[in-house]
């Protein structure tokens, strides 16, 4: 992977960037995504945000190597603290857990002024992001699920709008994705069949354990998720 050739996962993130936008890529690591997006003509300029010194250095070096210092600024900081309100119109946050992405959005809420699109690629826990988007006025407009190197990734694209517009079944939609559950492609089936088996194994262990309040709550949650997944997979 480099600034001219992205992984399938990051390529799918890039393909959702708003045309001619000003981009902030948060947790940019090597800054491959903003460099690629500029070289492809998707964006006019970008900010690459990084919290850690090592990846921050890699991003600075990559931007210099590509001779893009005029259009891509690398900034060091936590989440959205590297941008000002109305500075960017599209944000990408990729390759982190859904809980961390949600924390970055929640802590940086005031910086989202002027932002028209969020492109979020959680490695796990997309449900947390979908809930946050729904509670904060963002409407999911498309979703992608893909497999690369044996791992399955989801990409959520959200614009400002009617948060619940695409949820016909809220609980199932939050867990599985309103678009993904309608499309129900092979990768989706593979992911949720595997998750269901994993939950069934946990459930069987819980049933052998002492039934504390905590265990029975956990059991109830698992049973609910298993039933949602079974219903969608069997439809």
Interface residues with ligand SAM (CB under 6 A) are: 10, 26-29, 49-52, 55, 78-79, 94-96, 100, 104
In angstroms, what is the minimal distance from the CB of 204 to ligand SAM?
33
Would you say 119 and 90 are in contact if contact means Cβ atoms under 8 Å apart? yes
**Between 96 and 229, CB nearer to ligand SAM:** 96
**Between 49 and 173, CB nearer to ligand SAM:** 49
Cα–Cα dist 180/187, whole Å: 10
**Between 3 and 167, CB nearer to ligand SAM:** 3
**Between 81 and 199, CB nearer to ligand SAM:** 81
**Between 79 and 178, CB nearer to ligand SAM:** 79
Would you say 93 and 120 are in contact if contact means Cβ atoms under 8 Å apart? yes
In angstroms, what is the minimal distance from the CB of 151 to ligand SAM?
12
In angstroms, what is the minimal distance from the CB of 87 to ligand SAM?
16
Other CB atoms within 10 A of residue 166 CB:
17
**Between 80 and 181, CB nearer to ligand SAM:** 80
Q: Helix 126-135 crosses helix 98-107 at what angle (to 10 degrees)?
A: 30
Please work out, in degrees rounded to the nearest 5, the angle formed at the alpha carbon of residue 51 by the alpha carbons of 49 and 52: 120
Nearest Cα to Cα of residue 145 among 133, 156, 134: 156
Cα–Cα dist 34/28, whole Å: 8
Q: Are strands 138-148 and 21-26 parallel, antiparallel or unpaired?
A: unpaired
Would you say 107 and 134 are in contact if contact means Cβ atoms under 8 Å apart? no
In angstroms, what is the minimal distance from the CB of 66 to ligand SAM?
16
In angstroms, what is the minimal distance from the CB of 23 to ligand SAM?
12
In angstroms, what is the minimal distance from the CB of 90 to ligand SAM?
14
């Amino acid at each position: 992977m480099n600034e001219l050739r992205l992984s399938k996962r990051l390529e799918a993130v890039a393909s959702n960037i708003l045309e001619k936008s000003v981009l902030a890529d948060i947790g940019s690591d090597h800054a491959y995504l903003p460099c690629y997006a500029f070289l492809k003509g998707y964006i006019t300029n970008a900010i690459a945000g990084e919290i850690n010194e090592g990846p921050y250095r890699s991003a600075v070096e990559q931007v210099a190597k590509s001779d893009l210092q005029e259009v891509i600024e690398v900034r060091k900081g936590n989440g959205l603290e590297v941008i000002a309100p109305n500075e960017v119109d599209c944000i990408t946050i990729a390759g982190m857990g859904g809980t961390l992405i949600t924390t970055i959005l929640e802590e940086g809420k005031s910086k989202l002024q002027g932002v028209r699109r969020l492109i979020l690629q959680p490695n796990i826990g997309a449900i947390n992001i979908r809930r946050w988007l729904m509670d904060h006025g963002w409407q999911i407009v498309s979703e992608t699920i893909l497999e690369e190197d044996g791992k399955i990734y989801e990409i959520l694209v959200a614009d400002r709008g009617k948060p619940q517009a695409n949820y016909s079944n809220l609980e199932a939609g939050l867990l599985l994705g309103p678009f993904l559950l309608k499309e129900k492609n092979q990768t989706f089936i593979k992911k949720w069949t595997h998750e269901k088996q994993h939950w069934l194994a946990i459930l069987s262990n819980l049933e052998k354990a002492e039934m504390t309040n905590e265990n029975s709550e956990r059991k109830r949650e698992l049973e609910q998720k298993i039933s949602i997944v079974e219903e969608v997979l069997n439809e």
